[in-house]
Chain A
Amino acid sequence: DQQVKQNSPSLSVQEGRISILNCDYTNSMFDYFLWYKKYPAEGPTFLISISSIKDKNEDGRFTVFLNKSAKHLSLHIVPSQPGDSAVYFCAASSNDYKLSFGAGTTVTVRA
């Protein structure tokens, strides 16, 4: 049973608008959360992370929000750019470096 779930397989957004990607988890032992970005025929690359002691982390156009009580995190991309078109994976870990990944959300940014 998947412990990390991304329930939206795809997202289409207009260039310049906000992209919001959602992720839910079931394991209350998870204490570190990450987002990875993946282009076709490449490996995933680390994008942004958040520790369970925080509820928000921002890095340029990317912001991750964590709601521990709801076991939910989200990634906001503002403004969305064509180069953001990729698959985004949510991942979580419980202090042992083993990552549990969601199924991914494919983001398409329309010009």
Chain B
Amino acid sequence: NAGVTQTPKFQVLKTGQSMTLQCAQDMNHEYMSWYRQDPGMGLRLIHYSVGAGITDQGEVPNGYNVSRSTTEDFPLRLLSAAPSQTSVYFCASSPSGGRAGYEQYFGPGTRLTVT
């Protein structure tokens, strides 16, 4: 049982490049989400999904796309990277329904630098 896995662990991009951050979970969780962590800002929600085929925007969605074709995977796409997207990205999952849905399991993070 691997929990929530994220790849890559580190990535350096040039401004304007695109890439996809991968996230997978093996706990059969319905709810998945992406956060970014910046110094002094805590974690901010980018996009989330309440099940396969359903996604919605969080607090800071601009510049990012997501899709959820399976329960297990929730990739985050950067369309045209900008230096402001330099951050640590965390994927999280939780079972839907009841209080358990709040107690999200986080992946180890992807540290992204945009030059």
Contacts and interface: CB of A to CB of B under 8 A. Distances in A.
A4 B42 contact: yes
Contact of A49 (B40, B96, B103): B103
A32 B4 contact: no
Contact of B44 (A42, A51, A101): A101
Residue among A6, A32, A89, A97 facing the most chain B CB atoms (10 A cut-off): A97
A24 to B, nearest CB: 13
Nearest to A97: B101
A89 B42 contact: yes
A41 B90 contact: no
B42 A43 contact: no
A101 B108 contact: no
Interface residues of A, number: 26
A103 interface: yes
B42 A44 contact: no
Contact of B99 (A51, A89, A101, A104): A51
Contacts of A86: none
Interface residues of B, number: 28
A26 interface: no
B109 interface: yes
Given A51-B99, A97-B94, A97-B96, A43 B108 contact: yes
A99 B45 contact: yes
A34 to B, nearest CB: 6
Contacts of A99: 43, 45, 102, 104
Interface of A: 2, 4, 6, 9, 32, 34, 36, 41-46, 49, 51, 89, 91, 93, 97-104
22 contacts: A2-B41, A6-B42, A32-B102, A41-B108, A41-B109, A43-B107, A43-B108, A43-B109, A44-B90, A46-B103, A49-B102, A89-B43, A91-B43, A97-B50, A97-B101, A98-B45, A99-B43, A99-B102, A99-B104, A100-B59, A101-B44, A103-B41
Interface of B: 4, 31, 33, 35, 40-45, 48, 50, 58-59, 90, 92, 94, 96, 99, 101-109
Given A9-B40, A99-B43, A103-B40, 14 more contacts: A4-B42, A34-B102, A41-B108, A43-B4, A43-B109, A44-B90, A46-B103, A91-B43, A93-B102, A97-B94, A98-B45, A98-B58, A99-B102, A101-B44
